[in-house]
Amino acid sequence: MKTSLAVKIGRLDLKNPVTVCSGTFGYGEEFQDFLDLKQLGALVTKTVTLRPRCGNPMPRTCETPSGLLNSIGLENPGLDIFLRDKLGFLKKTGVPVILSVASEGGIEEFISIVGAVDAVKDIAAIELNISCPNIKPHVTPRQARGVRRPQGENQRRLISQDPQATYDLVRAVRKVTKKPLITKLSPNVTCISDIALAAEAAGTDAVSLINTLSGMSIDVLTRKPKIAAGVAGLSGPAIRPVAVKMVWEAARAVKVPVIGMGGIMDTASALEFFIAGASAVAVGTANFIDPGVSVEIINGIKRYLIENNIKDISLLRGSLQL
């Protein structure tokens, strides 16, 4: 039986719905010896900022039960060097390139980055990373009205933790590009649906979720955090139940496609996201354990569709039986 894995994310056509999470796959070149990159549905780059970032101090990672804490801090060479030194290799893969971007300076910097790459034909789509917990947030107390914080706590929040800030950012960026926009959401919120709806109303073509959960691990001998920055982002299979639930909530709330991620380790865990309502999935921490796992998942999804007499991956989407 012939089956179709093709999906559409806004105006972006993908031959299959499996890509990789930003920050877990470098700029593709690092993984070329481990899998055939051309088999991926798309390739999401490591997040790029306008200027180079050296990232957060070491140590930046530590293992936790069924998970990984990281506080890399969006280390990257900056937009100009990415376009000069990294994009050429990505173009040669023949796979749609989704550029993940973040800002150190609020909406204006997002606008500058996105505006600068709008005419770059080798970039197929843009992911707005408004949810990385490992850099300084961008929402001021005035923007997050009514939010009270304990004395001494950081008085700024992530854009993705505030519906109005999310709307304002996506709306502003939408005006400077015709490329498909994917807005990456944070799980560190009260209601993920509210944020997803704000991004949709502002003109995003899709939402991707979830980014990492905020966490901490302590060395009991030194009584210091195992991560130099203290708080870090938790990923891996430990967060998958949270991710599946939030994808289910977001998919029921919005009409735009949802790209699910968070603890996908194999075919079965990827399928959970489609059944919950995702149109596509992204593999993250699993790439560090098995660099070829994304291709294994693509082949596994094909087998599942054939074995269950499902002709099109879209027929699986949102098929959860309650």
Q: Which residues are catalytic?
A: 132
pLDDT of res. 106:
86
Helix (H) or strand (E) holding 116: helix 107-117
Is residue 85 assigned to a domain? yes
The answer to the question of residue 321 being in a domain is no
Strands (E), 30-96: 43-44, 61-64, 67-70
Q: Are 197 and 163 in contact (CB under 8 A)?
A: yes
pTM (2 d.p.) = 0.93
**Domain tally for the chain?**
1
Span between the terminal Cα atoms of the chain, in Å: 29
pLDDT digits (tens, 9 = 90+) for 185-219: 999 999 999 999 999 999 999 999 999 999 999 99
CATH number at residue 279: 3.20.20.70
Q: Are strands 12-14 and 67-70 parallel, antiparallel or unpaired?
A: unpaired
Residues with Cβ within 8 Å of residue 195, at least 6 apart in sequence: 160, 161, 163, 166, 185, 186, 189
167 in a structural domain? yes
The parent domain of residue 310 ranges over 7-315
Q: Could you tell me whether strands 7-9 and 280-283 are parallel, antiparallel, or unpaired per DSSP bridges?
A: unpaired
The pLDDT tens digits for 276-291 are 999 999 999 999 999 9
- For residue 322, being part of any structural domain is answered with no
The contacts of residue 116 (CB under 8 Å, 6+ apart) are 79
- Give me the helices (H) in 141-222, please: 163-174, 192-202
d(CA 54, CA 301): 38
In a domain, 83, yes or no: yes
Within a domain: residue 260? Answer: yes
CA distance 134 to 209: 16
**Is 224 part of any domain?**
yes
Q: Is residue 1 part of a domain?
A: no
Q: Is 141 a residue whose pLDDT tops 80?
A: no
